[in-house]
Amino acid sequence: METIGISWRMAFGICTALAPSVGYALLGTLAYVIRDWRILQLAITSPGVLSLIAWWFIPESPRWLLLNNKVEQWREAIQRIAEYNGVEMSPKIYEYVESSTAGSGSNDEVDGIPGDSTRNYSILDLVRTPNMRKITVAMIIASLNTVCVYVGLLFGTSLLAGSHYVNFILGACVEAVSILTAGVTMRRWGRKRSVVAFSLLAGVSCVATAVVPNGLGQVTTALATVGRFGVSSTISILDIYSTELFPTVVRHMGVGTTILVSRVGGIVAPFLSLLGNVWRPLPLLTLGVLSCVTSMVVTVLPETHGVPLPNTLEDGENFGRASPPSPMCKSNFAAIPKKTFAAGRTVYEERAQCELVELLVTTV
């Protein structure tokens, strides 16, 4: 995500979110054809070896390299991206970005925010200052609840009327449609309002499913499918939302912590079915309440649609406030003088407050 420009972040996030849905559909198909679980396990795990090839194709994040004073490696990474996209880089661009980054970090503590130059970051930086603490706690709660609801509905697929294989494949197809729908709503209404809407949809669907009488199996299946549609959309948006909220210097820790804690929800979810021994509708009512809580928690987060990624801790603390981000976070593409030649190559002579990654990745 750090190597993707503003206008392509959402599209990239949606494509990565679609991959699990395609995998679920293939898993359901393979399970229907291969009934021996040992052979099935081998069939679904062996293609994972191909992921090792990505080591030679995925570049290191230019943002991370520059903010960690790895200037030469940053220049090499940027040059490779520029050559791939047919962009000729002027030395003035490198000088501007390096000088802007050098001026954005400081060893001094300002308003409780530690300096960003030549220091090691820890997980405590996620909760050291008020705004970062709010973002971290809100994202953890939202992700934990959403994963719990998702896994709960996923395990509940086997209890629905009809063929288990068909229901599983149908659920995967619903997920794919929900992710594409989430992409449309994010572009139109942004991240925050989309999460609120889809979380409420999932919550209402779970509550409605809980009150359906036992004899109406088709109605239960339809409502559960709508609930899975809502929670799948929420997960795909939260994946993008979390990477955009945390600043570059602690993004890996912020996203990693969010994912780690959210998996607790996945562990707890299968045991929620035991609540049915107390009262039959209680498991689905619990999932509905958790989903509604997610929609309320997200309202405290800032909108990130069309906003450059924060880089430093100071950017993260000012994110969503009136204070502007550091020079590396500003974006003003109209201020970039350029010349286009007959061969189709574009030469950028200067760079005035423009996000370099956007310039390189989205220009062809």
Residue 169 region by backbone torsions, left for phi larger than 0, else alpha for psi between -120 and 50, else beta: alpha
- In the chain, the amino acid numbered 54 is A
pLDDT tens string 285-332: 999 999 999 999 999 999 998 888 888 898 899 987 754 444 334 333
pLDDT recorded at residue 102: 58
- In the chain, the amino acid numbered 184 is V
pLDDT tens string 86-112: 877 777 777 777 676 655 544 455 455
pLDDT recorded at residue 331: 37
pLDDT tens string 185-196: 999 999 999 999
pLDDT recorded at residue 347: 41
- SS3 at position 340: strand
Q: Which two tokens stand for residue 331?
A: 């974006």
pLDDT recorded at residue 269: 94
pLDDT recorded at residue 100: 63
**DSSP code, position 163:** -
pLDDT recorded at residue 110: 46
Structural element, H or E, at residue 74: helix 71-84
Beta-ladder partners of 113? 110
pLDDT recorded at residue 307: 85
How far is residue 208's CA from residue 285's CA, in Å, rounded to a whole number? 9
| pLDDT band (50, 70, 90) for residue 118 | low
> Which of 346, 326, 324 lies closest to 336 in space, CA to CA?
346
Q: Which two tokens stand for residue 147?
A: 């994963």
Q: Is the pLDDT of residue 360 over 90?
A: no
**DSSP code, position 162:** S
Beta-ladder partners of 340? 346
Q: Which two tokens stand for residue 202?
A: 């999932």
Decide: 157 and 164 in contact? Cβ < 8 Å. yes
This prediction has a pTM of: 0.76
